[in-house]
Structure 1
């Protein structure tokens, strides 16, 4: 028996299998179907449910054009959607025949689609953490969650608007932090909080801190919460306020280094605009697009840098003997080179010699070519990510189909 087993196994793998797809018949060897044993056709046990002894074939009342691509997948290992088959129908057929998710995802990725995630998001098990987490993290779950999201967006916009408005000359309050050396802490706080902009900033910070700490409290995984880039941005957004408060209580604003540090803190406050990406899908897609296009963007900057040095050096030596030249050194030409290559052309600096003007013309043309090269790739990445975000295919409708479709039907 042991000597006959390999021979018998080879015979079984060479057996010709007849597959009937709504009247259209396909022939395949058992070994071809056995390449993918986890699929419907590769699993002999599951396949038996569709066997029709009268016609000695496996009958499936399914979509014929889709199965032609699936049948080709068994033979060649390549899965390609036929152009005449809609993506959702093809996706349903792939799911029915049990094609593995890796092959399905490769097809959907090429088509600009993606599957609905089968894994549920990790949620806290205990109350009230679960309710709080849904309230602050998933605006689509309830009306109150949407209200919380709207409040958060309003706080971000008001904070950014306040930071910009306080630089307008008629609204500037630069002296609100200039206290006498003998001023007490209470008097300093009273003078600081007398500023309208500082009151608005404080109100926004109260909301940001409350939102951050309540989400940290309800988080199902606090380590992952701290490592999340969006939460890191939230932490950075509130740091300038508390550092300013420390300077205020310490009355160290008089020194020059402290003044420079205060300007840096004001600059960091602008980073709060990144908090909007938590509530705006398009901003997150833009960020992922820049990450995916990092190679193209890096090549662009490298090309611009090389051209800046090349054309800047050429123009400097071309205008070296020219009177009233705008360039007294090679680094002084870099600003002109960048503005010229980006086709902005302020005109504040320009070459005066014929050779310098010729170099300027070539610099413009080179800049246009360098800027155009990475643009198609960046646009393609954005379109692909944006399309994938919108085109989500779910197999829920497969489960709601009439169960009689899964029962083998005999051909008429």
Structure 2
């Protein structure tokens, strides 16, 4: 029973109707909680429907509490959580379990402390529970592929990130040199660094802009350079995804008609 409960609540296998139904139901409840939490910040709605928000949260916290307790109780059925106390403490120390308890703990503290402190800001941690969606079906496989790509291309991504930092700092120093005397907005390199960041990222808030001729020339070049610089990690990730997809293409054993050696080609290619 413990093994089955833990399987349903943690990682139901494909084709498990009960497990996947409960898993999807929990995910929908998390999503609705996020949506209701957004609506609760509207003063008019909070004032006119405070009872609904409280009751909805009460029901949600009860469900999440039952889920958490059952998972902690059933975790000892897994080899990595052996031991009545040690195993459960180990499971409670996992990142997702910590997020789960932090997501429901503020509700109980508010009741116990009778509103002496407002812990609603901690409820933002419920957003992290949305990451569970990556454990469902094809999304789980896609998320694992993303992790492999980031790991395999970590050195290239770090290099591109270093290039972005160098270009940003260089841009801030250049704009400070040509603008600080005529433009008080560029009074220091840190102040110019803000402009460099929003320019290189192509956001362009417009709160800071060069006014000298050289400043505008340099600013235009930096804005164009920002597009090129941020194309680097995009290209690296794109190439990484292509490599992962090609690695997953099944192959079949072929015999070369000329030399008789084995030839491995993707099954999608012609034998010719």
CA distance in 1, matches of 2:36, 2:64: 15
Decide whether the 8 Å contact of 2:46 with 2:53 is kept in 1.
Answer: no
TM-score by length of 1: 0.50
CA distance in 2, matches of 1:227, 1:303: 41
Structure 1 unaligned residues grouped into runs of 5+? 1-127, 177-193, 394-412
CA distance in 1, matches of 2:161, 2:45: 39
Q: 1:235 to 1:387 in 2, by over 3 A?
A: farther
1:129 corresponding residue in structure 2: 2
Decide whether the 8 Å contact of 1:234 with 1:272 is kept in 2.
Answer: no
1:84 corresponding residue in structure 2: none
Q: 1:228 to 1:133 in 2, by over 3 A?
A: closer
- Say which of 129, 140, 143 aligns to 2:14: 140
Q: 1:213 to 1:222 in 2, by over 3 A?
A: farther
Q: 1:305 to 1:201 in 2, by over 3 A?
A: farther
Alignment of 1:9-408 (within 5 A): 128-136=1-9, 137-172=11-46, 195-216=51-72, 217-218=74-75, 219-223=77-81, 232-251=95-114, 253=116, 262-263=120-121, 265-279=122-136, 280-281=139-140, 282-322=142-182, 325-385=184-244
Q: CA shift at 1:231, angstroms?
A: 5.3
Decide whether the 8 Å contact of 1:233 with 1:274 is kept in 2.
Answer: no
- Offset from partner CA, 1:160-199 (integer Å, 9 cap, x none): 22222222343345xx9xxxxxxxxxxxxxxxxx642333
- Offset from partner CA, 1:82-120 (integer Å, 9 cap, x none): xxxxxxxxxxxxxxxxxxxxxxxxxxxxxxxxxxxxxxx
Residues 311-320 or 279-288, more deviating: 279-288
Two-structure CA RMSD over aligned residues (Å): 3.4
CA distance in 2, matches of 1:170, 1:139: 44
Secondary structure at the aligned position of 1:344 is classed as coil
CA distance in 2, matches of 1:206, 1:284: 32
Q: 1:140 to 1:221 in 2, by over 3 A?
A: same
CA distance in 2, matches of 1:140, 1:366: 47
Decide whether the 8 Å contact of 1:156 with 1:276 is kept in 2.
Answer: no
Decide whether the 8 Å contact of 2:201 with 2:226 is kept in 1.
Answer: yes
TM-score by length of 2: 0.72
Q: CA shift at 1:351, angstroms?
A: 0.9
CA distance in 1, matches of 2:245, 2:190: 41
CA distance in 1, matches of 2:201, 2:37: 30
Structure with more contact order per residue of length (Cα contacts < 8 Å, sep ≥ 6): 1
- Offset from partner CA, 1:266-305 (integer Å, 9 cap, x none): 3323212212222232334334433444333333332222
How many residues are matched?
A: 240
Q: 1:133 to 1:223 in 2, by over 3 A?
A: closer
Q: Which has the higher helix share?
A: 2
Q: 1:205 to 1:300 in 2, by over 3 A?
A: farther
Decide whether the 8 Å contact of 1:316 with 1:330 is kept in 2.
Answer: yes
CA distance in 2, matches of 1:230, 1:161: 28
CA distance in 1, matches of 2:39, 2:246: 37
